[in-house]
Amino acid sequence: MTVSDFFNYMKPGMKGHLVGIGGVSMSALAETLKAAGIEIRGSDERESAAVDRLRDKGIPVYLGHSAENVKGADFVVRTAAAKDSNPEVMAARELGVPVFERTQAWGAIMMKYKNAVCVAGTHGKTTTTSMVTHILMAAGRDPTVMIGGYLPLIGSGCRTGEGEDIVLEACEYCNSFLSFSPTVAVILNVDADHLDFFTGIDEIKSSFRRFAELVPDAGCVVANLDDENTMAALEGTAKRVVTFGLSGKADIRAVNVDLGRTASCDMLHRGAFLTHAELRIGGRHNIYNALAAAAAALELGVGPEHIRAGLESFGGAGRRLEYKGRCNGADVYDDYAHHPRELRALLQTAAGMGYARIICVFQPHTYSRTKALLEDFISELRLPDKVYLAEIYAAREKNTVGISSKELADRIEGAVYCPDFDGLAAMLEKEARPGDMIITVGAGDIYKVGEKIIQTGAC
């Protein structure tokens, strides 16, 4: 089955079943297909806020996977976690019902839009996609959106608009973004990650190059001029490339950069003043994200006044240095960072926010990433004043490499390893004092620790 094949099923009255419908991208897909007049139902392994939201929108969701769930469906879409052995996938094939990958469905959907902004990169996708959304909404463009996180502006991670624009995250894992059809392909950065799938940085750069080559002749690639791997991946491409960065050679660049609890800069377009950007979030990395969003918006014909308004209205996406509350006078934040480079950007931003102490509560994400990037994690986790380490979040993996967060703790002076969330929360309550910044960090469920210490009477 191909992207073009799925396009043929995008007709009102068709019936689709989504395996793993509760995932971020899958739930957004369900809503988008339903808005197109397709009858959608799905299944997931557990109850969740996403499942509740889908049911509220009239989309039936079964708990657990069963062959019975597929009966009557014209097509099936599966999440990447649903393997060939999944009973619903097996049943669909026995019944002759076509089975599509999630990314193939999204690839077909974006073919319906004049403009498809696909935001790729090892880091910063959610924030940049959110920024582009804010800019387009400020310009009254009514976009369709798929974000890998919660955006307060739209009340979820997705929306279905009536305009000509679609903007969505484009992830490189398993080469997922190669099923997409971007007219504007944004590449924020290229780093070594997902090494359970890729053999190394050269293969990753090749994947991003193939993503860029998907852009039609009338489209463009928006690329980070200051990121060596990004520019190496694009070397020699015949596609039109619009660059952004702090370098004087970038098409869209930032000058007069001011960093603190928030960030601001003046943006220049090919040397001429474009707009002033006053962000409500901090960090040099978010200056880069804002430049990328502005460059993409310019390609869609959005004016500088709407770029400025959109960026000024953006207060951050869920789990991106998100303020959660207080504990014993300490401010508690949460962040999704799960790669050493993301940790560095986060902790450097935190260091500039004026707190007396930075207390980092880190939960590594996947055994393979922790093992492959162990030395880098150790280096970055020496930056904060105090480090607490939860056990590794397994996600899709089993611990076949024999690694634990204790290995990190043993290599970082003063670090505390505590695999039990209740015990970790108790330690933090004793540690916290006025002037502290406590950040729960990781792509797993470490945010629950922050929520727990906020909810206790000690806070």
Catalytic residue among 32, 122, 126, 160: 126
Q: Are 67 and 61 in contact (CB under 8 A)?
A: no
Nearest residue to 261 via CA among 290, 286, 293? 286
> Distance from CA of residue 291 to its chain's centroid?
17
Q: Which one of the listed residues 39, 103, 125, 144 is annotated catalytic?
A: 125
C-alpha–C-alpha distance, residues 230 and 353, integer Å: 30
235 is catalytic: no
125 catalytic? Reply is yes
Phi-psi sector, 233: left (phi>0), alpha (psi -120 to 50), beta: alpha
Exposure class string for 292-327: b at 16+ Cβ within 10 A, else e = bbbbbbbbbebebebbbbbbbebebbbbbbbebebb
**Residue 129 and residue 25: Cα distance in Å, rounded?**
14
Q: Of the candidates 156, 132, 167, which has an alpha carbon nearest to the alpha carbon of residue 313? A: 132
The one catalytic residue in 31, 88, 101, 169 is: 169
Is the distance from CB of 51 to CB of 62 less than 8 angstroms? no
How many secondary structure helices (H) and strands (E) does the chain include? 16, 21
Q: Name the DSSP class of 250.
A: -
Classify the C-alpha dihedral 248-254-258-260 as positive or negative. negative
Active site residue 68: no
Q: Where are the beta strands (DSSP E) in 173-240?
A: 184-187, 220-224
Compute the residue count for the chain: 459
Dihedral in degrees, nearest 10, Cα atoms 190, 194, 200, 203: -70
C-alpha 255/C-alpha 179 separation (Å) is 36
Could you list the active site residues?
125-126, 169
